[in-house]
Amino acid sequence: MDLRSAAELAITLARDAGDFAVAEHDVARIEAKGNGSDLVTHVDREAERRIVTALREHYPDHAILGEEEGEQGAGAGASHRWLIDPLDGTNNYVLDLDVYGVCITLCEGDQPVLAVVHDSPRRRTYWAIAGQGAWLRSDGRDDRRLSVGEPAPLARTTISFTQGYEIGHDDARRNQMFDALERETKRLLRSWAPSSDWGLLATGRLGAMVAYRNEIWDRVGGTLLAQEAGADVRTDPSGDLVIVGIPQTVQELDELLGTTTTTETTPSAPGETSPFTMIPRKYRIAENDLAFAVLDANPVSPGHALIMPVRQITTWFDATPEEQRAAWDLVDVVKTQHDEALVPDGYNVGFNAGASAGQTVFHAHLHVIPRYSGDVEDPTGGVRHAVIGQGYY
């Protein structure tokens, strides 16, 4: 397909949606969204409807994913897919804070090939086509090619931090990263509108963007835009954390946050990065804000699961009461799953604390081990007789 024609269409649609948002601001109808902490207005929905209508007219064989209405267009199996955030920064919009915009991205398969990020109040449109650079379009001016800035030490660098809608105040990993970034950088920017931050990064005003569990429509296109402006990208193995920015700055943030640190999967020592933190998120069988569960790579029995706090702490006794409760909540979740799928006859549940107790991975974790009649000759004594010697950590 002609990507330049698609880019011109997306630029026009983004600018029209932005103009609509500005014009409707004083009469915007506001509603709660999701769990009630997020907001949506009639502007979000109408802007998305207008964009989708135009895209379906021009590209009827393309799939479309909109923030407000979900999957639309051609649906599964389409070779191309549009991602739309029609009003990025709705909370700012409602507060009368002029930091909001529009994000439109085109993907071929899983790869973004075109990105448009529009600053609605200022009518600045940032756009990129894979392999053709990143550009800024402003009213009355020729398109200007964009480039990220020059590196500076973190202590003199402003970093943007953005997170997904579902991240709560008690998300341990988010809080650890936020604390580290606040201590080590000049300023930590939180605009709550990634469309604004991507523009600042691509024009050299930010050192990097740190995105934690962000929604696909406000992350993928912005990442392409920044890359075409010369940015580097690092993603952790789970896919939850993405750092985009000036290459040297990204390297320093990678070292600070341990984004792409790799480690052997067996044994670790206290203080080393836990191999459990390297497990891709898709392999989690249960999770909440403070803990998650995975299947053991070397199970004692079918369904053997490990439950650990998100925060890397050495032993169970180092966990906060909240972390311990969160982990125990997941024991019930895992047991329910196994009761339905595996129908075990019993369970061993427990933990090792310290090397002398047999712990070899120093990231606190609980074992949930389904037991089956006849899996050992004599189960009397529970863990002492049935599990010791099996080699689990």
Total count of residues recorded for the chain: 393
* pLDDT score recorded for residue 382: 61
DSSP conformational letter for 214: -
Please state which of the four CATH numbers 3.40.50.10860, 3.30.160.20, 3.40.440.10, 3.40.190.80 is assigned to the domain occupying 154-257.
3.40.190.80
CATH topology of domain 3-131: Fructose-1,6-Bisphosphatase; Chain A, domain 1 (3.30.540)
Residues of the chain with pLDDT under 70: 33-37, 76, 261-273, 278, 280-282, 381-393
* pLDDT score recorded for residue 34: 60
Q: Where are the domains of the chain?
A: 3-131, 154-257, 275-386
* pLDDT score recorded for residue 11: 98
* pLDDT score recorded for residue 92: 94
For the stretch 172-191, pLDDT in tens is 888 889 999 999 999 999 99
Own/partner contacts of 231-237, CB < 8 Å, gap of 24 or more, are 231/148, 231/201, 231/202, 234/259, 234/260, 235/259, 235/260, 236/260, 237/262, 237/278, 237/279, 237/280
* pLDDT score recorded for residue 265: 33
**Cα(102)–Cα(111) distance, rounded to whole angstroms?**
20
* pLDDT score recorded for residue 329: 95
The hierarchical CATH code for the domain 275-386 is: 3.30.428.10
130 with 114: CB under 8 angstroms?
Answer: yes
Same fold, 3-131 and 154-257: no
* pLDDT score recorded for residue 25: 87
* pLDDT score recorded for residue 159: 98
* pLDDT score recorded for residue 305: 94
Q: At 361, list the tokens.
A: 């991975």
